[in-house]
C-alpha cells in the first residue's frame, strides 16, 4: 500500500485507488499530487478489515471529501468504503478505473492481466471518415513542408553517415502497419551495419552500437526524416502509434490486453504515446504506451493532433529523442 502526500494540492480531497495494478506512471503521479491532498494506492490483495481501520477510517477524521476509484470486475471494497463514508457524514464520489483514466489522466485503462477486460474499449475501434480526411490533409501538408525545409539536413546526414561508418545511408526495417500488414520503415542509419548480428533487440537510450553522428540523429530525431517517404507511400501517418517490429508485436499480442487494436489505424512517425511516455522497452512499457495510443484513437480531435505536433517539436528542440 502506497501513501502519497502533496502540499501543493488545490483541494482537501483524498484519492483512494483500490485494486491498484500499477497503471500510473511518474507523470500521472505528479498530476494527481496537484489535485489531491493525499493519494492512497491499495494493491489487489489487501485485508478489508485492515484497510478500513488503518487506512480509510483515519482519513475520514482528517478530510471531508473522498474520491474513490475502483475496478468493478473484482473489487467489492467500494460498497464497504461507501457505507463507512456515509456513516461519518463525509462526501464521496466513485469512479470506475476505466472512466477515471480517460477523464483525469487522458489515457485508456489497459488491464494488467491479458484475460481481463475494459468495457469502454471496442475491439473494432478505428477512425471514421470524419477523422481520416483531416488527418490526410495534415499529413500531406506538413510532410511536404517538412521535406523541403529539411533538405539541408538530408544532405548533412548523407555526408556524415558516409564519413563515420560504412554501408548504406538508409536503413530499412520491417514494421507492422495498419491491419497487421508489414512494410519497410525507412530511416537514416544510425548504427553500425552489424548492429543486429546477435539478433533483434530494442534500441536503448545510450546504445553502444550507435556511431557519433548517429547518436545526434537519434537524439534530435533526424534519423526519422526518411519516414516522410513512408507517408508519401501511404504506409504511415504523421501521427499515430509507433510502428513496432513483427517479432515484438507477436509477443505483445499475447501478453497485453487489446494490443492489436492499435493496428486498426496507420502508425505514425510521432504519436501521443511517444510524447507522453518516457523512453522504454519491453512489455511493461508497451502496456503504458498502449494506454495513450488507444486514447488517441478513441478521443481524436484536431486539438489533440496539434498538441502532439507541438509536443514533438518541444522534444526535438530539447534534444530528448526517444
Answer left, alpha or beta for residue 180, where phi above 0 means left and psi between -120 and 50 means alpha. Answer: left
Nearest to 222 by CA among 163, 174, 171: 171
pLDDT at 321: 45
Residue 193: pLDDT over 80 = no
Integer Cα distance of 316 and 245 in angstroms: 24
Quick: pLDDT tens for 82-141. Answer: 777 888 888 888 899 999 999 999 999 999 989 889 999 998 999 999 999 999 999 999
Quick: pLDDT tens for 32-82. Answer: 999 999 998 887 766 667 667 777 778 888 888 889 898 888 777 777 777
Confidence (pTM): 0.86
Q: Break the chain into its structural domains and give their ranges.
A: 2-105, 129-317
pLDDT at 1: 63
Kindly state the cell numbers that stand for 165. Answer: 561508418
Residue 203 confidence class, pLDDT cut points 50, 70, 90: low
State the DSSP string of 212-232. Answer: HHHHHHHHHTGGGTTHHHHHH
Quick: pLDDT tens for 165-191. Answer: 888 999 999 999 999 999 999 999 988
pLDDT at 265: 97
CATH topology for 2-105? Rossmann fold (3.40.50)
Residue 314 confidence class, pLDDT cut points 50, 70, 90: confident
Integer Cα distance of 298 and 221 in angstroms: 27
pLDDT at 199: 53
Query: Pick the residue with more confidence: 262 or 315?
Result: 262
Residue 280: pLDDT over 80 = no
Q: What is the number of other CB atoms lying within 10 angstroms of the CB of residue 133?
A: 11
Integer Cα distance of 291 and 240 in angstroms: 13
Integer Cα distance of 319 and 205 in angstroms: 12
Q: Return the top range by mean pLDDT from 46-55, 205-214, 264-273.
A: 264-273
Answer left, alpha or beta for residue 199, where phi above 0 means left and psi between -120 and 50 means alpha. Answer: left
Is residue 272 within 8 Å of 308, Cβ to Cβ? yes
Query: Pick the residue with more confidence: 142 or 19?
Result: 142
Amino acid at each position: 500500500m502506497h501513501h502519497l502526500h502533496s502540499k501543493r494540492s488545490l483541494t482537501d480531497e483524498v484519492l483512494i485507488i483500490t485494486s491498484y495494478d500499477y497503471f500510473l506512471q511518474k507523470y500521472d503521479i505528479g498530476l494527481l499530487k496537484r489535485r489531491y491532498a493525499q493519494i492512497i494506492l491499495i494493491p489487489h490483495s489487501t485485508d478489508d478489515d485492515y484497510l478500513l481501520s488503518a487506512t480509510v477510517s483515519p482519513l475520514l477524521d482528517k478530510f471531508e471529501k473522498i474520491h474513490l476509484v475502483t475496478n468493478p470486475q473484482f473489487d467489492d471494497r467500494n460498497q464497504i468504503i461507501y457505507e463507512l463514508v456515509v456513516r461519518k457524514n463525509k462526501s464521496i464520489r466513485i469512479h470506475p478505473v476505466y472512466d477515471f483514466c480517460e477523464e483525469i489522466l487522458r489515457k485508456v485503462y489497459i488491464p494488467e492481466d491479458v484475460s481481463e477486460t475494459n468495457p469502454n474499449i471496442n475491439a473494432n475501434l478505428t477512425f471514421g471518415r470524419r477523422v481520416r480526411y483531416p488527418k490526410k490533409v495534415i499529413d500531406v501538408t506538413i510532410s511536404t513542408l517538412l521535406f523541403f525545409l529539411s533538405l539541408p539536413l538530408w544532405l548533412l546526414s548523407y555526408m556524415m553517415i558516409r564519413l563515420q561508418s560504412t554501408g548504406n545511408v538508409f536503413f530499412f526495417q520491417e514494421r507492422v502497419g495498419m491491419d497487421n500488414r508489414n512494410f519497410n520503415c525507412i530511416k537514416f542509419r544510425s548504427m553500425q551495419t552489424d548492429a543486429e548480428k546477435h539478433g533483434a533487440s530494442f534500441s536503448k537510450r545510450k546504445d553502444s552500437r550507435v556511431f557519433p553522428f548517429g547518436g545526434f540523429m537519434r537524439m534530435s530525431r533526424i534519423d526519422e526524416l526518411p519516414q516522410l517517404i513512408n507517408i508519401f507511400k501511404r504506409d504511415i501517418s504523421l501521427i499515430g502509434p509507433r510502428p513496432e517490429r513483427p517479432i515484438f508485436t507477436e509477443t505483445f499480442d499475447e501478453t497485453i490486453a487489446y494490443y492489436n487494436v492499435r493496428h486498426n489505424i496507420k502508425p505514425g512517425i510521432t504519436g501521443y504515446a511517444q510524447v507522453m511516455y518516457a523512453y522504454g522497452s519491453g512489455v511493461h512499457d508497451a502496456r503504458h504506451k498502449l494506454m495513450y495510443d488507444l486514447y488517441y484513437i478513441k478521443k481524436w480531435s484536431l486539438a489533440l493532433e496539434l498538441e502532439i505536433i507541438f509536443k514533438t517539436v518541444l522534444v526535438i528542440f530539447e534534444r530528448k529523442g526517444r
